[in-house]
A and B are shown apart, each in its own frame.
Chain A
Amino acid sequence: MTGLETPGVWSAEGTSPGAIEAALRQLLEQQYQESEAYVPARVLNLIAIVDREWRGEIVNRLERLGRFHPSRTIVCALEPRRDRLDAWATMTTHHGSSPGSLAVCEERVEIEMGQRHIDGLDTIVDPLIVHDLATVVWSPHGHDDAVDALVDLADVFLIDSVEAPAPEAAIARAEQLLQTGYVVDLAWLRSTPWRERIAATFDPPAWRPSLERIEEVVVRHHPESALSALLLVGWMASRLRWEPGAMLQQNGSMLARARTRKHEVKLRLEPEARQSVPGLAGITLATSAGVSLSLDRGPGGLAAKRRLRDGRESNYVVLGASRGETGILGEGIRQALLRDPTYGPALSAASSMLGSA
Chain B
Amino acid sequence: MTGSFDQPDMYDRLGQALTELDEDADIAFNRLFYLSTAPSFFPVIAKMLGERELHRREGSEVRMIVEKPFGTDLESALALNRELLSVFDERQIFRIDHYLGKETVQNMLVLRFANEIFEPLWNRSYVDSVQITAAEDIGIGTRAGYYDQSGALRDLIQNHMLQLLMLLTMEPPVSFDANPVRDEKVKVLRAIRPPTPEEVPSMAVRAQYGPGKAGGEEVHGYLDEEGVPDDSTTETYAAVRLKISNWRWAGVPFYLRTGKRLARKNTEIAVRLKPVPHLAFQQQGSLGVEPNQLVLMVQPNEGVSLSLVTKIPGARMAVRPVNMEFQYGTSFLSQSPEAYERLILDTMRGEATLFARNDEVEAAWAICDPILQAWSQMPGPLPQYPAGSAGPKEADDLLEGDDRWRPL
Contact = CB atoms under 8 A, between A and B. Distances in A.
Interface of A: 16-18, 21-22, 25, 28-29, 32-33, 36, 42, 85, 113, 117, 119-124, 126-127, 131-134, 153, 337-341
A32 B115 CA distance: 25
Interface string B270-300: 0000000000000011111000010100001
A124 B329 contact: no
Contact of A337 (B212, B320, B388, B406): B320
Interface string B136-167: 01000000000000000000000000000000
Given A42-B322, A119-B213, A126 B300 contact: no
Contacts of A113: 216
Contact of B213 (A21, A22, A123): A123
Contacts of A119: 213
Nearest to B329: A29
A124 B215 contact: yes
B285 A123 contact: no
A123 B325 contact: no
A113 B312 CA distance: 36
19 contacts: A17-B215, A17-B216, A18-B137, A22-B300, A25-B300, A25-B301, A36-B330, A42-B323, A120-B218, A121-B216, A124-B216, A127-B265, A132-B305, A132-B307, A337-B287, A337-B312, A339-B286, A339-B287, A341-B284
Given A32-B329, A338-B318, A123 B263 contact: yes
Nearest to B285: A339
A126 B389 CA distance: 10
Contacts of B215: 16-18, 85, 120, 123-124, 127
A21 B388 CA distance: 16
Contacts of A28: 327, 329-330
Shortest 7 CB-CB distances between A and B: which pairs? A120-B213, A123-B388, A127-B264, A117-B216, A32-B330, A29-B329, A124-B216
B320 to A, nearest CB: 6
Nearest to A153: B407
B264 A126 contact: yes
Given A122-B388, A127-B137, A338-B285, A29 B330 contact: yes
A85 B407 contact: no
A216 to B, nearest CB: 31
Contacts of A17: 215-216, 264
Contacts of A338: 285-287, 312, 318
A57 to B, nearest CB: 25
A160 to B, nearest CB: 22
Nearest to A336: B287
Contacts of A337: 286-287, 312, 320
B214 A123 contact: yes
Contact of A29 (B218, B266, B333): B333
Interface in B322-361: 322-323, 325, 327, 329-330, 333
Contacts of B329: 25, 28-29, 32
Contacts of A29: 329-330, 333
Contacts of A126: 263-264, 388, 408
A329 B100 CA distance: 47
Interface string B374-408: 00000000000000100000000000000000111
Nearest to A118: B216
A135 B263 CA distance: 16
Nearest to B390: A152
B295 A18 contact: no
B216 A123 contact: yes
Nearest to B284: A341
B26 interface: no
Contacts of B323: 42, 132-133
Interface of B: 137, 212-218, 263-266, 284-288, 293, 295, 300-301, 305, 307, 312, 318, 320-323, 325, 327, 329-330, 333, 388, 406-408
Contacts of B407: 131, 153
B287 to A, nearest CB: 6
A28 B329 CA distance: 8
Given A18-B215, A25-B329, A120-B218, 20 more contacts: A17-B216, A18-B137, A21-B264, A28-B329, A42-B322, A120-B216, A123-B214, A123-B216, A124-B215, A124-B216, A126-B263, A126-B388, A126-B408, A127-B265, A131-B266, A131-B407, A132-B293, A133-B323, A337-B312, A338-B312
B166 to A, nearest CB: 25
B241 to A, nearest CB: 22
A33 B332 CA distance: 10
Contacts of B406: 131
B214 A21 contact: no
B285 A341 contact: yes
A32 B325 CA distance: 14
B285 A127 contact: no
A163 to B, nearest CB: 26
Contacts of B307: 132
Contacts of A120: 212-218, 388
A134 B388 CA distance: 21
Contacts of B322: 42
A172 to B, nearest CB: 26
A39 to B, nearest CB: 9
Most A CB contacts (10 A, CB to CB) among B216, B320, B327, B406 go to B216
Contacts of A341: 284-285
A153 B407 CA distance: 9
B395 to A, nearest CB: 15
A42 B265 contact: no
A75 to B, nearest CB: 15
A116 to B, nearest CB: 8
Contacts of B216: 17, 85, 113, 117, 120-121, 123-124
B264 A134 contact: no
Contacts of A22: 300
A5 B137 CA distance: 34
A340 B285 contact: yes
Given A32-B330, A120-B216, A18 B265 contact: yes
A12 to B, nearest CB: 13
Contacts of A33: 333
Contact of A132 (B265, B295, B312, B388): B295
Contacts of A85: 215-216
Nearest to B388: A123
A339 B408 contact: no
Contacts of B266: 131
Contacts of B218: 120
